[in-house]
Amino acid sequence: MINKTNFRINGRKISFLLLGFALINPFMTATAGAGLDFGPGRAFSYESLVERAADLAKKPYLAPPRPMPSVVEKIDYEAWGNIRYRPESSLFAEGPGIFPATFFHLGQFFQKSVKMHVVENGQAKEILYSNDYFSMPKNSVARKLPADTGFAGFRLQESRHREDWRTQDWLAYLGASYFRAIGALNQYGLSARGVTIDSAEPTPEEFPDFTEFYIEGAKTEGEPEVIYALLNGPSITGAYKFSVRRTEGVVQDIDAALFMRKAVARIGLAPLTSMYWFSETEKRRLEDWRPEVHDSDGLAIWTGAGERLWRPLINQPYAVTSSFVDQNPKGFGLLQRDRNFENYLDGVNYERRPSLWVEPMGEWGPGAVQLIELPTDDEIHDNIGAYWRPAEPVKAGDSYRLRYRLHWLADEPYPAKVAKCVATRIGRGGQPGKPRPQGVYKFAVEFAGEALDPLWGDSVKAKPVISASQGTISDAFMEPIPGTRRWRAIFDLTPKTNDPVELRLFIQGNGDAMTETWLYQFRPGR
């Protein structure tokens, strides 16, 4: 089995091919003996990890170890892809945990050593590194690494009761504080992060690391797999508890305790990161042969007041941060709504990429969901970020304790009663068959859902409600789309200046919103 896999290094996404465990390379050495080596046991609890993180924040920052950088630097993506973990050496390959864990080797793109532990009966034991756990070519430079090298990350395989568990994984932690899971359509896509520090600021972004992991295996498929992680960075420390369930997709209950070493300009909580290159909305001529290329196509927000917002993603010409001010949000997420293969025509399964929804557990207070959009000219870069930013400035000595749930699914977990936006189309303004006026743009925004069914009768008087931050709206109307159950709202925009225009639209019927609110940032003349 060959999987196209993307990993993130300091905010960049690297794409390459990994060979599945089932393939045998004739240049590999003979299979090593089964089993893992462990360090001595010590008492462990989540609260003790929180105490360690709090104490660590009072001390100077020490970066994670980088074993023999001159050797690790030579393990490029091809050499790294030829180093494969032996499934017979998986943690829980024979139980008692239901989901075997396999480990990633260090390499050119993952040079920091991460400590791995198993937790059983309140005791934690470190899993000691050995290159015997890995199948690698006899001449691999990785054989020069010392016995205490450590691992780069880990992933969970499917239930060991499945015949294909050795080749099928569903959750991975690798690089800084990045992690990702497959959704309901059994495909990896976007990622989550533990925290973001100074993302999209003029100063360099900080990338704190998960430096230690503790894995407490689920004994049955109905139980959660519990993963604990210690976070460490120049400005922040933290302790995380992930209670993970393999459901239709993947659901993670997260308890995080964060402690600030320093003041920072911007902290992002429950952050998500994705890729958006282009779609039907705005595609430059000769950009690429495919109709669309993206892991996610929009940001959805369920506000504390109950309003549903949809903001299509944009490949901006420069870094743009949009803030959606709120209090106690009900949820937000980066979604992949377009599930039509014909709109991608690519074998890397963009139509199956998961949507990722953040559900706050408890009240988060005032703040904003922030969306970061960076320019990109290829699909190998993650250029989209979304997170919650608290309203209060972040000072040294501050701490945060928050709980939230991540839903890795095909769609948002709590469907709105109103209809959803399914397409945004932009073209030249004016009327067909007549000279098109300069500087006028036409928008066609499509909606679908049972909430629009009354429009097919005569009992509902509906209209599009549209506003713009600058310029003039004209020729607004709505109509059914032939051959579908969709409706579209159409309008012309005449901007006054070349400054960005913030647009807002929803369909109103008998005084009530029948659709979610569509938001868009349009740049005239682009």
Look up residue 325 and give its two tokens.
């001010």
pLDDT of residue 433: 81
Residue 189 burial (C-beta neighbours within 10 Å; 0-12, 13-18, 19+): buried
- Model confidence at 431, in pLDDT bands (50, 70, 90)? confident
Least confident of 227-236, 237-246, 434-443: 434-443
**How much is the average pLDDT of 21-31?**
31
pLDDT surpassing 70 at residue 19 = no
pLDDT of residue 432: 82
Predicted confidence (pLDDT) per residue in 463-473, tens digit? 999 999 999 99
**How much is the average pLDDT of 418-441?**
92
Instruction: Say if residues 354 and 189 touch (Cβ distance below 8 Å).
Output: yes
Q: Is 331 helix (H, G, I), strand (E, B) or coil?
A: strand
- Model confidence at 221, in pLDDT bands (50, 70, 90)? confident
Instruction: Say if residues 315 and 521 touch (Cβ distance below 8 Å).
Output: no
The β-bridge relationship of strands 267-274 and 195-197 is antiparallel
pLDDT of residue 473: 98
Q: Is 54 helix (H, G, I), strand (E, B) or coil?
A: helix
Please state the separation of Cα 296 from the chain's center in Å: 9
pLDDT of residue 287: 85
Give the residue among 158, 153, 38, 155 at the shortest CA–CA distance from 98. 158
Domain 420-522 has CATH 2.60.40.10: yes
Peptide bond into 96 cis (omega under 30): yes
Architecture of domain 2-409: Distorted Sandwich (2.70)
Q: Cβ of 376: how many Cβ atoms within 10 Å?
A: 19
Predicted confidence (pLDDT) per residue in 112-124, tens digit? 999 999 999 999 9
Evaluate the CA torsion angle 8, 12, 13, 14 in order and state its sign. Answer: negative
Predicted confidence (pLDDT) per residue in 441-471, tens digit? 999 999 999 999 999 887 788 999 999 999 9
pLDDT of residue 13: 46
pLDDT of residue 525: 77
- Model confidence at 103, in pLDDT bands (50, 70, 90)? very high
**How much is the average pLDDT of 345-366?**
96
CATH 2.70.98.10 domain position(s) in the chain:
2-409
- Model confidence at 10, in pLDDT bands (50, 70, 90)? very low
Percent of the chain with pLDDT over 90: 87
pLDDT of residue 282: 82
**How much is the average pLDDT of 21-34?**
31
Alpha carbon distances (Å) from 193 to 245, 311, 385, 425? 18, 21, 10, 32
Q: Which amino acid, residue 207?
A: F
pLDDT surpassing 70 at residue 216 = yes
**How much is the average pLDDT of 169-188?**
97
**How much is the average pLDDT of 412-418?**
96
pLDDT surpassing 50 at residue 482 = yes
pLDDT of residue 8: 44
**CB within 8 A of 432, min separation 6: which ones?**
none
- What pTM does this model have? 0.92
pLDDT of residue 460: 81
What sections of 57-182 are H helices per DSSP?
Answer: 69-72, 77-81
Percent of the chain with pLDDT over 70: 94
pLDDT of residue 222: 84
Q: Which amino acid, residue 392?
A: E
pLDDT surpassing 50 at residue 9 = no
Comparing 15 with 458, the larger pLDDT belongs to 458
Report the residue count for the chain: 526
**How much is the average pLDDT of 209-218?**
97
Least confident of 30-34, 138-142, 144-148, 447-451: 30-34
**How much is the average pLDDT of 423-443?**
91
pLDDT of residue 234: 98
- Model confidence at 297, in pLDDT bands (50, 70, 90)? very high
CATH 2.60.40.10 domain position(s) in the chain:
420-522
128 secondary structure, DSSP code: E
- Calculate the average pLDDT of the chain: 92
pLDDT of residue 402: 96
pLDDT of residue 457: 81
**Paired residues of 85 in beta bridges:** 134
Half-sphere exposure (Cβ direction) of 51: Cα atoms closer than 13 Å: 5
